[in-house]
Amino acid sequence: MDQSKIISSEVNEAQIAVHWKEEEIYRPSAKFIAQANLKDASVMDRFSEKNFPGCFTEYAEMLTWIEPWREILDTSDPPFWKWFTGGKLNACFNCVDRHLEKYKNKAALIFVPEAEEEAPVAITYQEIYARVNEVAAMLRDFAGLTSGDRVTIHMPMIPELPITMLACARLGVIHSVVFGGFSGEACGLRAADSGSRVLIYADSYYRGGKLIDHKSSAEVAVESARREGQNIDKVLVWRRYPGKYGSVTPMVEGRDFFVDEVLKNFRGKKIQPVAMDAEAPLFLMYTSGTTGKPKGCQHRTGGYLAYVTGTSKYFQDIKPEDVYWCMADIGWITGHSYIVYGPLALGATSVIYEGVPNYPSAARPWKIAERLDVNIFHTSPTAIRMLRKAGFDEPQKYDFHFKHMTTVGEPIEPEVWKWYYEVVGKGEAVIVDTWWQTETGGFLCSTKPALDAMKPGSAGPGVPGIYPIIYDEDNQEMQAGSGKAGNLCIRNPWPGIIQTIWGDRERFVRQYYQKYCRNPQSKDWKDWPYFAGDGALMAADGYLRILGRVDDVINVAGHRLGTKELESACLTVDEVAEAAVVPVVDEIKGRMPEIYISLKPGIKASPADVKAKVTQTIETMIGKIARPKTVQIVPDMPKTRSGKIMRRVLAAISNHMNVGDISTLANPDIVEQIRVQVQGQGPVETQEGPEDVKHFGTVE
Ligand code: PRX
């Protein structure tokens, strides 16, 4: 390793110590550049501060408007920015109707069922149009929904999910999709918060080879909403196989209805798309905060749709002739922005896969890519790590060729990035590491795929029109290239930012703007930087290295260490497949990192040797300050259904605290196994931990 590249920096308490080594850069291939949507370097000038906010009309003009906007950015009520005010449009029209003339015969969605015996189903734009209209008619005339009403949708990855979302958008009904893997309880609380009186469900779906009974969670949802004071009048249930009920829960007379039966009354019905104000809310997406109940992130129609369309075109490089597969779940923001709204607004073909990436084996994604000739692939570091662990050489066995690949959602370790690049991308595809959040609507930081070099582990610079800045705790700007990290902020508003937190304006201001607002009376956007809640450092070239949530920073003897930095170091050890680092209370140092690792299959080295190697690697790559208290080798990590490692649970185990609710985990059984390994047999310990450890890993 080139020791000279290790940055070591003296930091004060307001800053975060960083020990990353800068990676070598990779350049996009000439073949990719030749065909890219974004190859004109003048884009940075077009979107430079002197052209703000007018630059964003470039994105708005990609849409079809019913009435033009009067003002691009209205700053009269900071920080509640309004975009494209006076304009009217319909999101469903933009994603469906307007493509019919040219593309009615083209697949809008390709649904890949989890069971390999079930063939993929291509749904054309014409078919989506017909189905969305019928569903919109049902929602309006059977469920009594009208524009501005909220509806909670708790559905898995089946095409009826985007069809339902688009039907809502056609009517101006605000949808709130709750990730299918969440519990009925979680769904009910969100339904109550949003004031939904209609729930839309699926009866069942496949996951890991099993048909899961999903409708049973609707009973819990209705009950938990009722406890919060919200009555649910109707539960509309899509059946995975129309006519065949896949749940054991009885349907409640007068409340529950099978969608396939109700739709018979709306066959061939057409509903005029409702002209919505640009500022009308399009949807809510709930996300966890460090404290309190989940926040209903409220996204607007015009600005959001413009932003995801523009960024899909430039950063996903989507063209109508591409086969684009984002392996996220539509129940998260990535799915809303980059499976449904962005790609469909561009007339693309978007693949929806029902199941888990490793069913029946870790070759599944590559088989799907080969079969459908997918050429743009989008997934998370967690999925990449998992596929790398379970099938390192599998991608080589299949004949697929990506031109473009995305990683999103967490920092990616350079080791993992290189596997993605060499083995999955076969050295041909560009990679964009896109940093953004539920609140931001779309990508904020990324390399420009044909224009910028790629740096493994770095999320690239601010995308056009986004001006990132790093502040320390004392409001001092951390200079690019200083080697010091702080809190990542965005200096300016952009069209994809949420309007507010549903029903809680005060929390919106407190969470994102209070910390760095220069003057609460000011109507100048320059006084209102957006606080993202992530630790990051900016290299001299403007590329951002994300260290994780600021709440996930471990303070060791007064030095704040990014957990990701440690995890990434662990992954350079050959034997290690996955790593998670949590803080453990230490009498002398305050906190120390405790390291959990899982190993690649077939490892011969002894556990003691691997542990010693991990400790030594951390000491060499980061320093003795980061020496772990212990290294635990575990058979698997506790994970959410979306695949994120639950560091919160590991931190609780390490600190002998209550592990909290683990019912929504993909593998809840592993928790007790790890607990016994770490704490020994004996009673479950539930001591109260310190605040930072209690909150560690709770922000998703
Ligand atoms: O900590 C950052 C991390 O994910 C957080 C946002 O999570 P969520 O709202 O669930 O949205 C996920 C999909 C956009 C961020 O605050 N994060 C997201 N993308 C990256 C990332 N961390 C590092 N690199 C990324 N590319």
In this structure, the residue with its CA closest to atom 4 of ligand 1 is 409
What mean pLDDT comes out for the span 326-350? 97
Element (H, E) at 577: strand 576-586
Are 304 and 196 contacting, i.e. CB atoms less than 8 angstroms apart? no
Residue to mutate, 410, 416, 642, ligand 1, most ligand atoms under 8 Å from C-beta: 410
What mean pLDDT comes out for the span 114-130? 98
Question: Rounded CA gap, 175 and 194, in Å?
Answer: 10
At residue 13 the predicted structure's pLDDT band, cuts being 50, 70 and 90, is low
Cβ(22) to ligand 1 under 6 A? Answer: no
| Residue 566 alpha carbon to ligand 1 centre in Å | 18
* Partners of 88 in beta bridges: 67, 277
Cβ(379) to ligand 1 under 6 A? Answer: no
Q: What is the pLDDT of residue 57?
A: 98
In this structure, the residue with its CA closest to atom 7 of ligand 1 is 437
Tens digit of pLDDT for each residue in 590-611? Answer: 788 999 999 999 999 999 999 9
| Residue 459 alpha carbon to ligand 1 centre in Å | 10
Question: Rounded CA gap, 614 and 610, in Å?
Answer: 6
Q: State percent of the chain over pLDDT 90.
A: 79
For the beta carbon of residue 683, count every other beta carbon within 10 angstroms. 6
Q: What is the pLDDT of residue 4?
A: 36
Tens digit of pLDDT for each residue in 481-537? Answer: 998 889 999 999 999 999 999 999 999 999 999 999 999 999 999 999 999 988 899
| Residue 436 alpha carbon to ligand 1 centre in Å | 5
| Residue 411 alpha carbon to ligand 1 centre in Å | 8
At residue 587 the predicted structure's pLDDT band, cuts being 50, 70 and 90, is confident
Residue to mutate, 315, 431, 436, ligand 1, most ligand atoms under 8 Å from C-beta: 436
Tens digit of pLDDT for each residue in 174-195? Answer: 999 998 888 888 899 899 999 9
Q: What is the pLDDT of residue 8?
A: 42
For the beta carbon of residue 621, count every other beta carbon within 10 angstroms. 20
What mean pLDDT comes out for the span 546-558? 73
Cβ(408) to ligand 1 under 6 A? Answer: yes
Q: Ligand 1 atom closest to Cα of 532?
A: 16
For the beta carbon of residue 4, count every other beta carbon within 10 angstroms. 6
Are 178 and 216 contacting, i.e. CB atoms less than 8 angstroms apart? no
CA 692 to chain centre: 24
Cβ(168) to ligand 1 under 6 A? Answer: no
Q: State percent of the chain over pLDDT 70.
A: 94
In this structure, the residue with its CA closest to atom 13 of ligand 1 is 409
Q: Is the pLDDT of residue 9 over 70?
A: no
Question: pTM above the 0.95 mark?
Answer: no
| Residue 88 alpha carbon to ligand 1 centre in Å | 31
In this structure, the residue with its CA closest to atom 6 of ligand 1 is 437
Which of 47-56, 290-299, 441-450, 539-548 bottoms out in mean pLDDT, i.e. has the lowest? 290-299
Question: Rounded CA gap, 681 and 667, in Å?
Answer: 20
* CA-wise closest residue to 150 among 306, 285, 340: 285
Strands, E, within 26-182: which ranges?
71-74, 82-85, 88-89, 107-112, 121-124, 150-155, 174-179
Cβ(333) to ligand 1 under 6 A? Answer: yes
567 Cβ contact list (under 8 Å, min separation 6): 413, 579, 580, 581
Q: Tell me the average pLDDT of the chain.
A: 92
In this structure, the residue with its CA closest to atom 14 of ligand 1 is 437
Q: Ligand 1 atom closest to Cα of 438?
A: 9
Q: What is the pLDDT of residue 1?
A: 35
In this structure, the residue with its CA closest to atom 5 of ligand 1 is 437
HSE at residue 288, side-chain half, CA atoms within 13 A, is 13
Are 109 and 352 contacting, i.e. CB atoms less than 8 angstroms apart? yes
What mean pLDDT comes out for the span 227-240? 97
What mean pLDDT comes out for the span 103-113? 98
